[in-house]
Amino acid sequence: MKVDAASVSLLFGDMRRLDQALESRSQSCHPLWILADGLVSTLRGIAQVIFVNNPVSGALILIGLFCSNVFTGVAAIVSVITALLCSKLFDQPQDALRAGLTSFSACLVGTVTVELVPALYHRPVTGALFFWIILMSALSVLVGCGLGNILGKFQLPAFTLPFNTVTAILFLCLHPPEATEVAAAPPNVTTDTVLWDQVLLGSVYSMGQVYAAYTLAGSVLIYLGCLLCSPVLTAASYVGALTGTLLGVAFSDPPYDSVYSGVWGYNGILAAEAIMFFMVPSVRSVLLALLNAVLATMIQAALAVSLKQASVIDR
């Protein structure tokens, strides 16, 4: 079967023709078209975390999340659908819903909670935890609406501030009041040599860490999803990841496990992507993206100590 190049090209970019088709057909209220519209909105909500507006990219990212943990993928779906329903209830613009702009913060609420609550508080993933994910996903929409009204007057986006707000509250509430820090054995560090191959690998892991997912295959799929939508954003994301990871070597102590696992690179990804997403690519915007990645990583280092004391994530 001959593949039409023009048809294949429809998968790249933001797939505007798909939006036009859905907009015209979903008005018929046919269940299949409504489900298709909901599926596209869900996948875009997952992808918008990294400034990607492409449902095929969202599908690749979702597969990447399942590579990390089945619960992570399920949490992404549940949280985004919850946010979409809540957005519909509060009459948010249909264009914003379809683009995933009202649900990407909820996606992070789900994935970060499922990945980090068991690690921080040694709690299993249960139905009760998913109840809190659903509740906070809905709350992230309300916080996002309020922040949008406030920041919109200054023409500023809220980015993931709704996620940061509601997830910080959730983690503080889930923190066991009687919990005591278990003294960990000092790491058996025999050398302070930096393993540069692991540093480079950490810059790849960083893409998965945007969603709090530690998976090499998943991180590669997320990079591919980003590339499908925008090569410029993909280049910016890796430069930001590498910048943050290299700075992590300077800001952390041996044995550099957090560097090798990509924890130091995810803020650099989002910082660099944000600049390149909102500005026309140029020498000036590239320099600003690089400086923004440096600043974001420095802020991460500064907040890490204080937030660690309360077992709150520095995201």
* Residue 240 and residue 165 in one domain: no
Q: What is the pLDDT of residue 15?
A: 80
* pLDDT over threshold 60, residue 195: yes
Q: What is the pLDDT of residue 219?
A: 98
Q: Is there a domain that residue 103 lies in?
A: yes
Q: What is the pLDDT of residue 305?
A: 78
* Residue 35 and residue 163 in one domain: yes
Q: What is the pLDDT of residue 165?
A: 96
Q: What is the pLDDT of residue 186?
A: 52
Stretch among 28-32, 62-66, 114-118, 233-237 having the lowest mean pLDDT = 28-32
Number of folded domains in the chain?
Answer: 2
The whole-chain average pLDDT of the chain stands at 89
Domain closes at, from 139, 155, 174: 174
* Overall average pLDDT of the 26-42 stretch: 82
Residue 182's pLDDT band, with cuts at 50, 70 and 90, is very low
* Residue 239 and residue 129 in one domain: no
Residue 301's pLDDT band, with cuts at 50, 70 and 90, is very high
Axis-axis angle for helices 55-68, 31-47 (nearest 10): 70
* 75-99 confidence digits (pLDDT tens): 999 999 999 999 999 999 988 999 9
* Overall average pLDDT of the 18-41 stretch: 78
* 124-151 confidence digits (pLDDT tens): 999 999 999 999 999 999 999 999 999 9
* Overall average pLDDT of the 154-170 stretch: 93
Domain closes at, from 158, 174, 190: 174
Q: Is there a domain that residue 69 lies in?
A: yes
**Joined tokens for residue 260:** 């090798």
More confident of the two residues 176 and 190:
176
More confident of the two residues 13 and 261:
261
Q: Is there a domain that residue 205 lies in?
A: no
* Residue 237 and residue 129 in one domain: no
Note down the domain range covering 136: 30-174
* 64-73 confidence digits (pLDDT tens): 999 999 999 9
* Residue 47 and residue 123 in one domain: yes
* Residue 169 and residue 250 in one domain: no
Q: Is there a domain that residue 128 lies in?
A: yes
Q: Is there a domain that residue 93 lies in?
A: yes
Provide the whole-model pTM.
0.90
* pLDDT over threshold 50, residue 183: no
Stretch among 91-100, 108-117, 172-181 having the lowest mean pLDDT = 172-181
Q: Is there a domain that residue 156 lies in?
A: yes
Q: What is the CATH number of the domain that holds 129?
A: 1.10.3430.10
* Residue 57 and residue 128 in one domain: yes
* Residue 63 and residue 167 in one domain: yes
* Overall average pLDDT of the 259-285 stretch: 96
Give the 3-state DSSP-derived string for the chain, with helices as H, strands as E and coil as C.
Answer: CCCCHHHHHCCCCCCHHHHHHHHHHHCCCCHHHHHHHHHHHHHHHHHHHHCCCCHHHHHHHHHHHHHHCHHHHHHHHHHHHHHHHHHHHCCCCHHHHHCCCCCHHHHHHHHHHHHHHHHHHCCCCCHHHHHHHHHHHHHHHHHHHHHHHHHHCCCCCCCCHHHHHHHHHHHHHHCCCCCCCCCCCCCCCCCCCCCHHHHHHHHHHHHHHCCCCCCHHHHHHHHHHHHHHCHHHHHHHHHHHHHHHHHHHHHCCCCCHHHHCCCCCHHHHHHHHHHHHHCCCCHHHHHHHHHHHHHHHHHHHHHHHHHHHCCCCCC
* Residue 109 and residue 237 in one domain: no
Q: Is there a domain that residue 143 lies in?
A: yes
Stretch among 135-139, 223-227, 301-305 having the lowest mean pLDDT = 301-305
More confident of the two residues 310 and 92:
92
